[in-house]
Amino acid sequence: MRDPARIEAVLSAIKEAWVRHPDLRLGQLVVIATKPKEPCPEVFYIEDEQLVQGIAAFQAKKESGK
């Protein structure tokens, strides 16, 4: 299992960068930071609201045991 303590540090770094660049969507920030070898248009162009919905669907699925 990965160390849960890492979550706060990662979220803090994301928050700091995002506050400095609020016009970016979260997916854009992640793609820019990771510099993937292949384009990731699904991540880069996802709207924040869609991402929130996807996270909620993931959580619901996990909680239902499916």
pLDDT at 66 over 70: no
Q: What would the two tokens of residue 4 be?
A: 């849960």
Tens of pLDDT, residues 25-35: 999 999 999 99
Give me the chain's average pLDDT, please.
Answer: 96
In angstroms, the CA 66 to CA 53 distance is 18
In angstroms, the CA 32 to CA 64 distance is 34
Q: At residue 62, what is the residue type?
A: K
**pTM as predicted:** 0.86
Q: What would the two tokens of residue 44 be?
A: 């880069």
The H or E element spanning position 29 is helix 26-34
Tens of pLDDT, residues 48-59: 999 999 999 999
Q: What would the two tokens of residue 49 be?
A: 């609201």
